[in-house]
Every structure is written in C-alpha cells, then in structure tokens.
Structure 1
Amino acid sequence: MTNPDDTLLYKKKHNITINDIQHSLYYYFDYDERSFDINMPFQHFHSFYELMILISPQAYHLVEGIPYSIRSGDIVLLRPSVLHRSEYQKGAPSKRLIIGFLYPPSLWGMPETYQKLFEPFYSPLPIFRFPSKQQQLINEKLNRIYRYSFQDEEPELKSLIVHGMFVEFLYTLRQLAPFNTYTNEPLKDEASQKIYTIANFIHNHYSEELTLDSLSREFYISPYYLSHQFKDVTGYTLTQYIQMTRIRNVQYLLLNTKKKISELAEECGFTSFSQFNRIFQKYCSQSPSEFRKDGGGNSLPTIL
C-alpha cells in the first residue's frame, strides 16, 4: 500500500505567505515551476533563510560559484547572504518548492535554541539527500503544512500553527542530517571543473586583490587560456565576475549594516571609491546610497 507521504504534495502556483519581509517573523512557501528560458543570469542573495526542494527529475544549483547536480527530493539549504542560482534544464518546466523564512533574533526569548535548528544551513555541504525512509519523514512534515494551508482559519492563528509545524520540520531535518547521502557529481569536463573551482575561489577571496595574472599564478594556468575559458564556461569575463561578486556582497551589507558606504566598498575589495560608485551604478542602475535608502528596491531578485 502506498504511503501518502511518499511524495511531496504539490499544486502549481500555490503559495503560503505569513507577514512580509519587513516583519521579523516571515514565511513564504512557493509551489511553482521554472524553465530553462528564465534561468537567472547571475547568482543572487537573500536576507532570509531559503530552502529549495526539487520535484522534477534534475537541475543544477550554483552556490558560491560551485555547481551542484540535484535530483528530485534533494534539499538545497541557503543561509542569508549566500550567493546562489538555480539552473533548470531545457525542455518541460521544472517543478520545485521554495521556502523563504526569517525569525527575529530573540524569538520568544530563545535565540540559542532556534539557532540550533539552523545548524544544517551552516553545513559545509549545502545539499541534503536522504534515503527513502528519512525522505518520507521530511515529506510528512511538509505535507502537513501543505494540507493545513487550504483550511479556512483566522490569519493570526494560522500563522502560529504554520510556524509550529515548520519548527517541527526544522527539528526533523536537524535530527536526520547525519543520514545525508549527497555527494556532488564532478563535472565530466575537467576544464569546466577548473573554472568553477576558480569561481569559488573568487567568492571566498573577493575582498582581496584579484587579477587575471594573480589567478593564473594561483591555479597554474595561462592568462590567455583562463580568460577565454572563464567566459566560455560562466558567460562572463573574469573582470565582470569579480565585479558582480563584489557588488552583490556590497548590496547585502548595505541592507544589513549601518557602516559607511566607503568602508563597505573597501571591505569588498574595491580600492578606488570612484571606481566602486561607477561599477555599482553600472550593475544596479542607481547609486549605493539610493539602493540603501529604498531597501534594495527593484534591484533585489525575486525568489527562483
């Protein structure tokens, strides 16, 4: 007999929203599909926690420049500020569930307790894949929320119940973390694998001086070859990729700190403030101060 929780329940364009991102307790469940045609051009970040579960057969998820091959049932866990991008396959649209959530630092006076629930989001490996028994437990917790979301309930009470159910899910995920069987499949193309390794290095060293020559020396590769291969694999020149990675990190800091803009520019690897302003305007179509003032405005990406 088939268990109803063997699969994750899904209805296209169904969503569950509790509060908005301006509130300290926030949830957004997005049951939808995406296609190859609307793959994001560059990695983006969120100021909240995000969880993505693929329901379709296969896709890729880039996290800090590293491509991870994911299949149906895999869970991608992203803590705030991590640069990432989903890459869906050509053909039929891919079904997925994305959950964004944010808790206030002192929720109910138990910040340390809640922080324990977030431990899987800080794992060195951001993808979780479970054996069928454990996957069924995961689906069971999420399907409870899905079914409950269709009930006619007072908004305040509904928010509390969904929150309670999701805390149970986070606890279950934390308990099952040791059963994670995911191992990333290395790219068959060794040249591409090398380029993605360099991209990840950029994400981890963007605050340092990075040039074509310095990266060539670091990875024992000719400048000419690196320049051409990097554009072929990522779709960006090396300079563009470095600049966009730095700008994305500045954006996050602009929205989540009160430091001076000049300090943030320096922290993120810009040695010239005038150059920083020019590059920020180029990629964001507004100044850093305008970006901070309107809370990111239209420059912040939507959930994909």
Structure 2
Amino acid sequence: MTNPDDTLHYKKQHNLTINDIQHSLYYYFDYDERSFDINMPFQHFHSFYEIMVLISPQASHLVEGIPYSIRSGDLVLLRPSVLHRSEYPKGAPGKRLIMSFLYPPSLWDRPETYQKLFEPFYAPVPIYRFPSKQQQLINEKLNRIYHYSFHDEDPDLRSLMVHGMFVDFLYTLRKLAPYNTYTNEPLKDEASRKVYSIANYIHNHYSEELTLDALAKEFFISPYYLSHQFKDVTGYTLTQYIQMTRIKNVQYLLQNTKKKISELAEECGFTSFSQFNRIFQKYCGQSPSEFRKASNSTSPYSPI
C-alpha cells in the first residue's frame, strides 16, 4: 500500500515564483493541468532550465523532434534552447508539475560547482524514471518545496530557502541518476519511426541546405513518400517544419545574442535575407527587429 507522503503533492493552479525572469536568480513552480485540446502546435524553447514531472498516468514529450513516452513520476529535464513540446492524450486533462529556473553564471563565485548539478540535463536522453525507493526520495524533496510555498515569509528569506531546497533536490537527482530505468517505447509503425528520425535530423542540421530530394536520398525513401508521410505524421509539410525549426533557432539567438540579424539568418540556414524576413513575419507576426526589441522587456519564451 502506498504511503500518501510518498506521492508527489499537488494542488491545481498552484504556483510559486521567486523573482522574475529579468533577475539572475529565478524560480517558477507551476502545478496545473494540460489537455489534448490545447497541445502546443509546434515545439518551443526557453532560455532557462526546465523540469517537467508528469503526475497523470501517461503522456508524451517531443524533444528536438523525437517523441518520448512518459508515465507518472517521470522527470523530463530540458536545458536552455532545446526545442520541445508536451503531448497529452485525449480524455481527462493531464496533471503535471513544471519547474523553471535560471541561475547567474557566477552564483556564489562557484559556477563550476553548479555546472555539476546540471549534468543530468545533458544526458543523451534526459528523461528519468526511478525505482520506488529512489522515486520516494525525489518526491520527498519536491514535497518539501510544495509545503513551504504555502507559508508567509519574508521575500529575501523565501528566495534563500527555496534556492537551498531546490539545490538539495538537484543534488539528489544527480546522485540518483545512475538508478535511471527509463527506456523509450519504440513507435509501432515504420513510417512514424522514419519521419521522426528525419525530424531529428532537421533539428541537428537546420543550418545546412535541406531539400526534399536530399533528405529522401539521405534516408533511402522516395521524395513522394517522404512528402506525404511527413505531413501525415507531424501535421506539417516538410518545408513548414524546416522553416519553423530555423525560425525558432533565430528567435533564441535574437533573445540571447547581440549579433546582426542578417548574420543570425545565415547561421540558421536562410540563404536569402528577404525570404528570411518574409518567413519570420509569417510565423511570428512581427519583424525580427521588433521581436528582439520586445524580448528585452518580456520573458525569454518563444510565442509560436
């Protein structure tokens, strides 16, 4: 019989914020629901670290074009700039906990120490599933933060306490990483496996020239088959997917670098600057310069 104290505690629409995204030390804990009807249309990114803990029985998560099946208790770790999207099945809304955080590069003048805490985020498959004993320890650390979030507290002390508890959680997660039992469930049909392999290839080669014929040749399939299967599986044409992946990466660079817009367009695979401006306007509803200006006063979160 499961001890209630061993489960991850949850209250719908509860959240905890420490500072804001413009501060160098930032935390946001979001306990809420998502459903199939509001699945994001395309993958998005953040300029901060994020952890998603699934509370409901099952869902899936796309990371750089690859679908991963997840179940209750699984932790999805996302480093900055990684394109991703949660997908929830039809039926009742799915409960989940999202934890976003951002640390200054020289926190306590020990950046190399903090970098060690982030090692689990850089695993080849940064999704963690633990045996019961280790999962209980993870839940214990997270429940401590959850219950503290309901206390009235001096803002400075609250910031310090949440940071301390979260570092303890990250340390525990790093220590338990060798116990990870997660293995992805392979897609059942060959067509989907092939399409998602191509999607992942696009995410890793978006700066290069990508054409229907070249991709078909790379993956030993006909251009006609690729064109139709890609749309059926992803909901996007191959051209749309390539363009949106490139635009997403331009957005990230616009928010996080001071390079010229023309340089960023070229870095992300656009060979024509006029075409880039037209496509950016199409997907973002504003020019690249307007997007960069707006990003200086808002959260570094992609709007499409």
- For normalisation by structure 2, the TM-score amounts to 0.97
CA distance in 1, matches of 2:204, 2:216: 16
CA distance in 1, matches of 2:161, 2:272: 51
Structure 1 stretches lacking a partner, 5+ long = none
Report 1:59-74 matches (<5 A).
Answer: 59-74=59-74
The corresponding residue for 2:146 is 146
The corresponding residue for 2:24 is 24
* Matched letter for residue 123 of structure 2: S
- Going from structure 1 to structure 2, the CA distance change for 1:136 and 1:68 (only over 3 Å counts) comes to same
The corresponding residue for 1:293 is 293
The answer to whether structure 1 residue 123 and structure 2 residue 123 are counterparts is yes
Q: Following TM superposition, by how much is the alpha carbon of 1:41 offset from its aligned partner in structure 2, in angstroms?
A: 0.3
* Matched letter for residue 14 of structure 1: H
* Matched letter for residue 26 of structure 1: Y
The corresponding residue for 1:93 is 93
- For normalisation by structure 1, the TM-score amounts to 0.97
- Going from structure 1 to structure 2, the CA distance change for 1:124 and 1:149 (only over 3 Å counts) comes to same
CA distance in 1, matches of 2:74, 2:23: 29
Q: Following TM superposition, by how much is the alpha carbon of 1:190 offset from its aligned partner in structure 2, in angstroms?
A: 1.1
CA distance in 2, matches of 1:300, 1:54: 21
The corresponding residue for 2:172 is 172
The corresponding residue for 2:82 is 82
CA distance in 2, matches of 1:151, 1:94: 27
What are the superposed Cα offsets for residues 51-86 of structure 1, whole Å, 9 maximum, x if unpaired?
Answer: 000000000100000000000000000000000000
- Going from structure 1 to structure 2, the CA distance change for 1:233 and 1:299 (only over 3 Å counts) comes to farther
Report 1:40-51 matches (<5 A).
Answer: 40-51=40-51
CA distance in 1, matches of 2:210, 2:5: 49
Identity of aligned residues (%): 85
The corresponding residue for 2:222 is 222
Q: Is the 8 A contact 2:192 2:233 kept in 1?
A: yes
CA distance in 2, matches of 1:82, 1:298: 16
Q: Is the 8 A contact 2:53 2:73 kept in 1?
A: yes
Q: How many residues align?
A: 303
Structure 1 SS opposite 2:6? coil
CA distance in 1, matches of 2:299, 2:101: 20
Structure 1 SS opposite 2:150? coil
- Going from structure 1 to structure 2, the CA distance change for 1:288 and 1:48 (only over 3 Å counts) comes to same
Q: Following TM superposition, by how much is the alpha carbon of 1:156 offset from its aligned partner in structure 2, in angstroms?
A: 1.0
Structure 2 stretches lacking a partner, 5+ long = none
The corresponding residue for 2:234 is 234
Cα root mean square deviation, aligned: 1.5
Q: Following TM superposition, by how much is the alpha carbon of 1:153 offset from its aligned partner in structure 2, in angstroms?
A: 1.1
Q: Following TM superposition, by how much is the alpha carbon of 1:300 offset from its aligned partner in structure 2, in angstroms?
A: 3.7
The corresponding residue for 1:134 is 134
CA distance in 1, matches of 2:58, 2:205: 31
Runs of 4+ more than 6 Å apart: none
CA distance in 2, matches of 1:67, 1:52: 15
The answer to whether structure 1 residue 282 and structure 2 residue 282 are counterparts is yes
Structure 1 SS opposite 2:85? strand
* Matched letter for residue 29 of structure 1: F
Q: Is the 8 A contact 2:248 2:302 kept in 1?
A: no
CA distance in 2, matches of 1:52, 1:109: 28
The answer to whether structure 1 residue 259 and structure 2 residue 264 are counterparts is no
CA distance in 1, matches of 2:273, 2:224: 29
The corresponding residue for 1:183 is 183
CA distance in 2, matches of 1:299, 1:217: 37
The corresponding residue for 1:203 is 203
The corresponding residue for 2:34 is 34
Q: Is the 8 A contact 1:284 1:299 kept in 2?
A: no
- Going from structure 1 to structure 2, the CA distance change for 1:259 and 1:136 (only over 3 Å counts) comes to same
Q: Following TM superposition, by how much is the alpha carbon of 1:151 offset from its aligned partner in structure 2, in angstroms?
A: 1.1
* Matched letter for residue 214 of structure 1: A
What are the superposed Cα offsets for residues 13-50 of structure 1, whole Å, 9 maximum, x if unpaired?
Answer: 00000011111100000000001000000000000000
Q: Is the 8 A contact 2:29 2:97 kept in 1?
A: yes
Structure 2 SS opposite 1:5? helix
